[in-house]
Each structure stands twice: as structure tokens, then as C-alpha cells.
Amino acid sequence: MLYDAWRHAPTHRKVWALAAPMILSNLSVPLVALVDSTVIGHLPHAHQLGAVAVGGSLYTLLVWLMGFLRMGTTGFAAQASGREDGGALRQVLLQGLLLALGFALLLGSLAIPFTGFALDLMRPSAALDELTRDYFHTRLLGLPAALASYALIGWFLGTQNARAPLAILLTTNLLNVTLDLWFVLGLDWGVAGAARASVIAEWCGALLGLALTRHALREHPGRPDWHSLGRLASWRPLLAVNRDIFIRTLALELVFFLVTLQGTRLGEATVAANALLLNGLLLTAHALDGLAHAVEALCGHAIGARDRTALRRSLVVAGGWSLLASIAFALFFLLAGQGFVRLQTDIAEVRAVAFVYLPYLALLPLVAVWSYLLDGLFIGATRAREMRDAMLVAVTLAVPLGWALGGLGNHGLWLAFLTFMLLRGICLGLLAWRLNRRDAWFASP
């Protein structure tokens, strides 16, 4: 049965039609941070680079925590598309954009006092404090556009349109790079120029996304139920899914924070080496997420159409390619990992520490791939509660293990982190198996 599903050529084409553009657009994201650092790094004062690094991290944290706007929208849009319900598609789009606007206004009002609290904890110099506040407060002007882009990208993926998200992300990121160079180096606007470049780029990407919805909506005729937008009942499913994804994201962020915290206690060289190795995880995740996005769209569409065969084929084909990609990454880090580390730093001590722990990085893609793949299945099925529960169980089991293995130093830290990623996949797999046995994928979550 699995072999027959794998041999279905049209499903392979559908998977890669969605995955390839998303992998390309995902990999464009680190380019912006790299160019920001490089451009500001050529200015005369260290606190200018520090302001962009600190302010950018605070802004990225706010936006990243709102990632549920993309994930929550994808599953509902995919199921509406599978049912060929154009009215529901319009409803999901409107609700996603309204939530993006509402959260942007809420976060914008809370972010200014949050900046002061965060900077008070960091105790920066007066020059760094002032520049960081200016940079961050300017970036907040782009927050509505950034969150709207999340909702738009999720909605387009749900309609199995990966070209529009590619256009949005490439436009945003490449325009950001171009304006960065012009504003900072050409017009000599310094740190303010980097912030303005990002804001303009985010608004251009969001406006492009809105323009592209016209063509997509023509392919799915229908009318939204305007009256239901004023009723809480019509919002409850989307809000419930978004709430559970948000809790899941907070739990995941807690794990990465604890990894950084524990690594810091092991010395500067160790925490720096771990950061370089986790960049390998970032690279792997950006690539494998492209296949996970395909799973979200195709499985959600199959569930909406109540097509069990399409659901099985999509999961098997995307799972097979994800496994092959994870093996390729594992071999890359095993055979060329030292070169990957050398590209990132010239500090001999940090290199030496990173080389010791490269085998853990090589194992990471093989362990983590299943949680990425199954996340895509649960997002497409709009079963965020199960995702949340699996994450909380994995965190609850892995955190005490991390403390218990503290005597092993950084080896213990990496073993605990690998165990956490393995537990994520196992918990999601058990939940998926239980739902499959009950034939519950096509029931309402």
C-alpha cells in the first residue's frame, strides 16, 4: 500500500510544486539578517551594529510568536479549498487579516514598555540604549504588514498556491536588501535607514499579497457570510487553533531559551559553538519546512474533500522526500561539517569545541524530520490541540532529563535536546496513529 502510494507520479508533482517555491523563499529569510549585519557592520561604531542586533531580535521575537496566523490559516483554507467552498475561503482570508490587524495594534501598544523592560535587564550603554529604541520603534510601523503577510502566506498555501508566497517573501526580502544598501551606505541614514528599509519592504510585500488574492478568488467563486463575522461562534474554531499553536510555540521557545541558558553556564566558547551548530538546524528546518508546507496544503485539501487515498499518498510521498532530504543533510554535516563551522568563525577555540559536537548535529535532521512532517499533517487537519499536547509532553519529559544530564556538560545538553526532538516526533506519531485507527481525520477536531 505504501509502495503504491509512493509510485503515484501526480502526487510527486503536486508535492514539489508546493515545496520547491517554499524552500526557495524560506532560504531567502536568513539573507536579510546577513545583509543587515554586513551593512551595519561597516559603520564606524560598534553600538550601531549592537542596536540592529538587539532591536532586530526583539522585533523578530514578537513576529515569530505570531506564527500561528500563518499556520492556523493554512489548515482552514486548505479544507475550504478541498470542499470547493469559495465563501468559506473568503471568510478565512478576512478573519486572518482582521486578526493580524488586531494583534498588530495590541502588540504595538505593549511593545514600547516591553522594550524598556528588556533593555533595563540588558543594561546597555546609553548610546546603545537610545539607538536600539529608535530602531525598534521604527520597525513597529511595519508590524501590521508583517502579520498580514503571515495570514496571506498561510491562506495561499491552503489554496495550493506556492507561487504567491514565493512572490511575497522574495519581494519583501530582496527589496529589504536593496533599500538597506541604498539607505545606509548611499544616503548615510545609518541605523534608522536599516529600520526604514525593513518597514517599506514589509508593506510592499503585504500589498503585493493583497493584490494577488484577486486572481486566487476568481478561481474560487463564492460570497463570504458577512453577518457571521460579527458572531463569536464563527471565530471560535480559528481562535481555538491559534491559541493552541501559540501555546505550542511558547513551549518550543522555552526549550531553545533553556539550551542557550545552559550553554552560557558552560563557558563562552561552548555557547558560541552551540550557536554555530544550531545554525545548521536552522538551515535544515528552512528546507524541510518547505516539504511540511506541502503536507499542510495537500493533506488539508484531502481532508476537506474527504479523500482518504489522496491523504495517504500526500503523506507517504512528502514523508519519503523528507526522509531523503534529512539523510542528505546528515551526510553533509557528517562529512563537511568542519567546513560549515569554519565558514562561520575564525576563532580557533570555538572551532575546536564545535568540531567535538558535530556528530550530534549530523543526527539532528534524522531525528527532527518526523516532527516537522507530522506538524504539517496536524496543521492541515486543523488539529492544533494535539500539536500543543504533544509539545507539552515532550517539554515536560525533556527538561528534567536535561537537568539530570547536567553532569555530562555539553554532551548532556545535546543528548537532552536530541531526546526532546525525538519525543516530539514520537508523541505526534502516536496521536496520528490513534486518530487513524479511529478513522477520525475526517471528523471535526
Alpha-helix residue ranges (DSSP H) falling in 381-409: 384-404
- 130-150: average pLDDT: 88
Give dist(CA 93, CA 74) in Å, integer.
10
Taking the C-alpha atoms of 291, 59, 386 and 375 in order, what is their torsion angle to the nearest 10 degrees?
A: 10
Q: Kindly report the CA angle at 345 between 123 and 412, in degrees rounded to 5? A: 75
pLDDT of residue 36: 66
- Tell me, yes or no, whether 19 lies in a domain: no
pLDDT in tens, 291-309: 999 999 999 999 988 999 9
pLDDT of residue 145: 94
Are 251 and 111 in the same domain?
Answer: no
Residue-range definition of the domain harbouring residue 273: 1-14+234-445
pLDDT band at residue 340 under the 50/70/90 scheme = confident
Q: 158 near 297, Cβ under 8 Å?
A: yes
Are 196 and 262 in the same domain?
Answer: no
Give dist(CA 398, CA 404) in Å, integer.
10
Q: 128 near 40, Cβ under 8 Å?
A: no
Q: Which residues of 36-55 are buried (b: 16+ CB within 10 A; e: fewer)?
A: beebbeebeeebbbbbbbbb
Are 209 and 355 in the same domain?
Answer: no
**Tally of helices (H runs) and strands (E runs) in the chain:** 16, 0
pLDDT of residue 51: 67
Q: What is the DSSP string of 258-289?
A: HHHHHHHHT-HHHHHHHHHHHHHHHHHHHHHH
pLDDT over threshold 90, residue 397: yes
If one counts the domains in the chain, the total is 2
Q: 65 near 210, Cβ under 8 Å?
A: no
Are 163 and 292 in the same domain?
Answer: no
Winning range, highest mean pLDDT, from 23-27, 167-171, 281-285: 167-171
pLDDT in tens, 427-437: 999 999 999 88
Are 149 and 274 in the same domain?
Answer: no
- Tell me, yes or no, whether 30 lies in a domain: no
- Tell me, yes or no, whether 326 lies in a domain: yes
- Tell me, yes or no, whether 418 lies in a domain: yes
pLDDT over threshold 80, residue 413: yes
Greatest Cα-to-Cα distance within the chain, rounded to the nearest angstrom: 66
Are 346 and 197 in the same domain?
Answer: no
Cell 522555552 locates to: 254
- 130-137: average pLDDT: 82
pLDDT over threshold 60, residue 122: no
